[in-house]
Amino acid sequence: MRKNTLLATGLLLASSLALAQTPYTEDSTFRGLGGKEGIKQITDTFLELVLADPRIKDNFADFDIPQINQRLQEQFCEYAGGPCKYTGKYRDKTMDGAGTVRDMKSVHIDLKITDAMFNALAEDLQLAMARHGVSTETSNRLIARLAPMHRDIVTAHAPLAPLQPDMGRFLATGGVSMVEGAGGGGISPWALITGYGTRDSWGGNAHFTRVQTQDYSLDTRGVAVGIADRVELSVARQDFKGDLAPLNLLRIQQDILGLKVRLAGNAVYDQDRAMPQVSMGAMYKKNKGINGLRALGVTSVRQLGAKDDRGVDYYVSATKICLEHSLLVNGTLRATKANQMGILGFGGDQGDTVKLQPEVSAAWLAHRTLAIGAEYRRKPHNLGVDPEKSYYDVFAAWFPAKQVSLTVAYANLGTITVFNPKTQKGWYLSLQAGL
């Protein structure tokens, strides 16, 4: 079973990576943009938005806007697979006669463009396409082809403003807050760094999540910050309760401190590379004991057979966003001894060694503001009283603005204890608010 899951994880990642490599040989994107006439109208609206956008409008103050408009139309048309050629790069007046190629790097280098400026401009392009009725699929494909230009165009860092988060990353690219507090999906941490801070800034958020099954509920509250799109710190408290007599007084709390570091790749800009964004993380978990079973003399997870009431999960996550196909895929490998994430302690009478457990998530980026997907998380089985099974869920995450997201899921948590053999299924609702 474990081999199969690992194979499935590998195949899923490999196929998404292969998709990311598709050459732009057909013109469906060009047609989706409405051909040359559609591109002209989109570019007009795009430049109107850019010239009114306080984040970037000043950069265009002294330039020939009709000329930029013309070049952009050519470029969008070419990258969309249309019958055009971008001509600007052979036409540098200052270099006339020298035969020098004018590429995206030399065009932009003096403008000292930062990560946040690049994303602001790309957001304006997304908006312009949406205003002209371009489908999300087509819009994502054009953005996918332009995103790798980040390497040439972004050459500057913004001055540090430690008290002011810049919210400079694209919508939804911090994921949501997973049930242990880290940035990711609902039940699995992803390689994405939480929040919207760019490489020059930070972003933070708070979340509240409730999972309600037939007989139990799990609430998680937490805060997290992402620093320089590189490091993520999170703090969360889980509160697990029983709803059904004789466990209706049951209450177990757990505190989780999380650290994640992005090691390589960039899920948004590396659209032309197979490399996913890869991060490594750790979660220190402290189970605060069992309440509500004092009459039975049970106050600690050790009395249920757990070897410890604290533990550390280590994980590696790889996330690939493939805008060409409006897909996100994540694979996480977690080293853990935790029983039901740690709510029933760590290790037990059936085993006390760290086990490697795969987790897989896939999402369709149905709209700029909506991701719909499914997740799977395998867990170890260490406790005799806990016939632990894998977690599954299907979810929809809605991002009406960068300040807020709402995730609704239907989750299957498997059986939780031998005292109640029912498979626990139910709704998952999570609200995240950030800055």
Chain contacts with ligand HEM (rule: CB under 6 A): 56, 59-60, 63, 67-68, 71-72, 75, 88, 107-108, 111, 113, 117-118, 121-122, 146, 149, 153
373 phi, psi to nearest 5 deg: -160, -170
Nearest-approach distance from CB 387 to ligand HEM, in angstroms:
52
Q: Choose between 122 and 362: whose C-beta lies nearer to ligand HEM.
A: 122
The least distance separating ligand HEM from the CB of residue 145, rounded to whole angstroms, comes to 9
Rounded least distance, CB 370 to ligand HEM, Å = 23
| Unique residue bearing structure tokens 């395998």 | 378
- Give the residue from 88, 123, 81, 120 showing the smallest Cα distance to 105: 88
Using alpha carbons, list the distances in angstroms from residue 349 to 105, 252, 302, 303, 307.
61, 20, 10, 11, 8
Shortest-Cβ-distance residue relative to ligand HEM: 88
Please identify, using beta-carbon distances, which residue of 119 and 188 lies nearer to ligand HEM. 119
Sign of the dihedral through C-alpha 292, 298, 301, 306: negative
User: Would you say 2 or 112 has its CB closer to ligand HEM?
Assistant: 112
Measure the CA–CA gap between 158 and 220, rounded to whole angstroms: 35
**By C-beta, is 170 or 391 nearer to ligand HEM?**
170
User: Helices (H) and strands (E) in the chain — how many of each?
Assistant: 8, 14
Which residue, 88 or 387, is less far from ligand HEM as judged by CB? 88
Residue 207 tokens read as 């979340």
Nearer to ligand HEM, 116 or 318 (CB): 116
- Minimum distance from CB of 41 to ligand HEM (Å)? 17
Rounded CA gap, 76 and 30, in Å? 8
Q: What contacts 48, CB < 8 A, 6 or more positions away?
A: none
DSSP notation for 238-274: EEEEE-STTSTT-EEEEEEEEEEEEEE--TTT-TTSS
CB-nearer residue toward ligand HEM: 47 or 411: 47
CB of 319 to ligand HEM, least distance (A): 22
Nearest-approach distance from CB 38 to ligand HEM, in angstroms: 17
DSSP 40-109: HHHHHHHHHHHHH-TTTGGGGTTS-HHHHHHHHHHHHHHHTT-S----GGG--GGGTTTT----HHHHHG
Q: How far is the CB of 88 from ligand HEM (least distance, A)?
A: 2
Please, which residue, 72 or 224, has the CB nearer to ligand HEM? 72
Min dist CB 142 to ligand HEM, Å, is 10
